[in-house]
Amino acid sequence: MFRFVIAAAAIALSTGFALANGHGGGEAAPAPKPEAAIAPAKVIITKQGPKLVDLKGMTLYYYERDTTGKTSNCNGKCTESWVPLPATADAKAVGDFTVISRNDGSKMWAYRYRPLYTSPADKTPGEANGTATTLQWRIARPEE
């Protein structure tokens, strides 16, 4: 008789979970976690100090005339020498990185509200051949 009571209790308990679709008695399933946004750049340490590079390792630059944080002053022919760091149309700000609209309607990334660019003069990751102090172009650094 004792075995019958144990067996009946085991069946009753297992049936309860089966009727609740395996969710343990009607508890709601956990909500899906939102995907973490990925920053468009990273910091690397060089002999000259830390600098920002894109996800391919190419040095990023900023233009000193980009001061409003809302627009880029490098448009048209300028983009042949300084390539804007593109952002997708649905990109959202991540940490110190923001998205700004360009004159042509495209989006680009900015760091602490300074638009970011790469230089075609840099052929391999880590190169920094695009610095032009007389033209007010600087390597983007995390402390700036």
Residue 71 located in a structural domain = yes
Domain that holds residue 127: 42-139
| pLDDT classification of 111: cutoffs 50, 70, 90 | very high
Local structure of residue 136 (DSSP, 8 states) = T
Each residue's pLDDT tens digit, 18-76: 444 445 555 665 655 555 568 899 999 988 899 999 999 999 999 999 988 888 999 99
Question: Residue 15 pLDDT more than 50?
Answer: no
Number of H helices, E strands in the chain: 2, 10
Residue 132 located in a structural domain = yes
Q: Between the CA atoms of 126, 131, 137 and 143, what dihedral angle is there, to the nearest 10 degrees?
A: 50
Count of domains observed in the chain? 1
Query: Could you tell me the maximum CA-CA distance found in the chain, to the nearest angstrom?
Result: 96
DSSP H helices, the chain, are 2-19, 78-81
Q: What percent of the chain has pLDDT over 90?
A: 56
Residue 33 located in a structural domain = no
Residue 24 located in a structural domain = no
Question: Residue 6 pLDDT more than 80?
Answer: no
Q: List Cβ neighbours of 105 (8 Å cut-off, separation of 6 or more).
A: none
